[in-house]
Structure 1
C-alpha cells in the first residue's frame, strides 16, 4: 500500500484539488462549495495521479540509477500494474469530469492529452515542456470556475494567465539552477541550449508579463484594497527576483530564487482569494 501512496504523490493531488476548489470560489466570489465543484476537484486529483504514474513509468531507466528506491525500479510495483493503475485513474478522472459538465469533460481531455504528450515526447525538450507544465498549472483555476458555471469569468482568466507566465518563468529559472545536471542528462533546457544570459532574460520577461496581467482585473471590475495590497507585494517580489536573475544568471542564485518565487506565488493567490466574500 505504501508503494501506491508514493507513486500517486498525495501532496500534489491535494494541491491540485485545492486549486480547483479555489478556482470555483474565486469565480463565484463566495465560499460556496457544491457537489459539482467537489467532483471536479476529485477528477483533477485523479488525472494528476494518472500523470504521476505515467511519469514514473517513463522515468524507469533513469530512476534505476538516480532513484532506485522508487516504487517501480524497486520492484514494489511492476510496470504492468503501473499501466493498469494509470488507465483506471485516467478513466475515472475523465468520467467524473463528464458528470459535472461537457465543458469540464473537454478540459479534462485536454489536460490528459497535455500530460501524455509531455511525458511521452516533451519532458526533455526545454521550453516546449516548460509551456506544457505551465498550462497544466494554470488549468485548475479555469476548471474550478467552469465547474460552477463561471468558465468565462475574466477575473479567473487573469489568475490563470498570470499563473501560466509566472510558472513558465520559474521553470526556466529551474533550468538555470540545474544546468550542469541537465546538460549531462541531455535535457535541452533554455539555459543549456541558449545559455544562462538568454534564460535569465526570458525569466525576467515572463515575470513582467505576469505582473502586467495581475493589474488587468482593475480594468473591468471594482477591486478591493486587499487585492491591491497583496498584488503590490507580489509584483515587487517577482520583479526583484527577475532582475536578480537577469543581472546574474548564476546557478546558486537561481536555486535560491526558485524557492523565493514560491512565496510570490502564494501572495498572488492571497490577492485573488481576498476578493472572495465571506458570508
Structure 2
C-alpha cells in the first residue's frame, strides 16, 4: 500500500528586494540638507553670475545631497548593521526591510551614479566627488573605518559635509579655485561641523562601547563630550568672525556674532543634561549655525563681485 505524500512546490521562492520606501530610508533624505546647503553657500560666495550656469548649481546640489551623501548613508548603514541591531534595531537593515546584501549593492550602485554625474560637471568637481566617495567608504568600511575614532571620523565627515561641497561649488561656478579667505571660512565651518556630529553620538553610547567605537561620548562620557562639542562649534565660528572682520566685512561678522550669542545660551541649557537634550539642541543650534554660513557666503560674494 502506497502512502500519499503531500504535494510540495519545488519552485524556489522569488528573491525579495527592498521596497522604494526602504531604499529611501537607507539613503536618509533628512541628512542631505547640510551638504546641499554648503554647496549653495559656495555658489553664492563665488560671486559669479549663476543665471547662465544654473545647471551647474542644480546638478551640484543633486550630487552633494541625494547622491554622495545618500551613498555615505547607505555605506554607513551596511557596515554599521551589527551596531544598529543594538542601538537602533528599527533601522532599515537590522529590521529586515532591506534584505540580504541589498544595502551593499545600493551603496556600490550609488557610488557609480555619483561619479558619473560628477563627470558631467568637469574635472574639478569629478576629482572632488571622488574624494568625497573615498571618504564615505573609508569612514565606515574596513580596513580604515575611521568612525571608530570620534576625533578622526567626525572630522572627516565635517570636511565632507561642509568644506568640500562649499569649495566644489565655488570651483564649479568660477572655473578656478576660490580665494584663500573663502577656503579658510569653508574649512572653519567644516571644523565646526565636527562638534555638531558629536551631538548625534549621544544616542548610541551603549552600543558604541559594546562594539568598540570610540565616539567622544563613549570615550569621555556625556558631560565632557558635550563640552568638547560646544567648544568646537563656538571656536570655529569665532574663527569665521575674525576672518570676516579682517576682510572688512564687519556687518556680516556682527550678524554672526549675534547668532553665536544665541547658540551660547542654548549650549548652557544643553550642558545641564546633554544625553536627553542633544536632539533638541541640535534642532535649534544647527539652524543658527547654518544661517551663519549663508551670512558669511553673502559677505564673501560682495568681495568677489566686481565694483
Same fold (TM > 0.5): yes
Q: Which moved more, 1:23-32 or 1:157-166?
A: 23-32
Evaluate the alpha carbon distance shift between residue 252 and residue 13 of structure 1 in structure 2; reply closer, same or farther with a 3 A threshold.
closer
Partner of 2:225: 199
Partner of 1:218: 245
Any unmatched runs of 5+ in structure 2? 1-19
Q: Does 1:52 align with 2:51?
A: no
| In 1, Cα distance between equivalents of 2:73 and 2:278 | 26
Q: CA deviation at 1:16?
A: 3.0
Counterpart secondary structure, 1:214: helix
The C-alpha deviation readout for 1:33-84, integer Å capped at 9, x for no partner, is 5222333222223122211111221122334455444443344433433333
**Root-mean-square deviation (Å):** 3.2
Q: CA deviation at 1:23?
A: 1.5
Q: CA deviation at 1:206?
A: 1.9
Q: CA deviation at 1:91?
A: 1.2
Counterpart secondary structure, 2:246: helix
Counterpart secondary structure, 2:192: helix
Evaluate the alpha carbon distance shift between residue 29 and residue 208 of structure 1 in structure 2; reply closer, same or farther with a 3 A threshold.
farther
Check the 8 A contact 2:75/2:107 in 1, yes or no. yes
Partner of 2:117: 96
Q: Which moved more, 1:31-40 or 1:261-270?
A: 31-40
| In 1, Cα distance between equivalents of 2:110 and 2:74 | 9
Q: Residue 81 of structure 1 is aligned with which of 78, 84, 102?
A: 102
Evaluate the alpha carbon distance shift between residue 207 and residue 56 of structure 1 in structure 2; reply closer, same or farther with a 3 A threshold.
closer
TM-score of the two chains, using structure 2 as the length reference: 0.74
Question: How many residues are treated as equivalent by the alignment?
Answer: 275
Any unmatched runs of 5+ in structure 1? none
Check the 8 A contact 1:19/1:140 in 2, yes or no. yes
The C-alpha deviation readout for 1:107-157, integer Å capped at 9, x for no partner, is 111111111111111223221211112111222111111211253234532
| In 2, Cα distance between equivalents of 1:65 and 1:191 | 17
Q: CA deviation at 1:238?
A: 4.2
Evaluate the alpha carbon distance shift between residue 180 and residue 118 of structure 1 in structure 2; reply closer, same or farther with a 3 A threshold.
same
| In 2, Cα distance between equivalents of 1:150 and 1:24 | 13
Check the 8 A contact 2:26/2:103 in 1, yes or no. no
Evaluate the alpha carbon distance shift between residue 240 and residue 39 of structure 1 in structure 2; reply closer, same or farther with a 3 A threshold.
same
Evaluate the alpha carbon distance shift between residue 177 and residue 242 of structure 1 in structure 2; reply closer, same or farther with a 3 A threshold.
farther
**Max radius of gyration: which structure?**
2
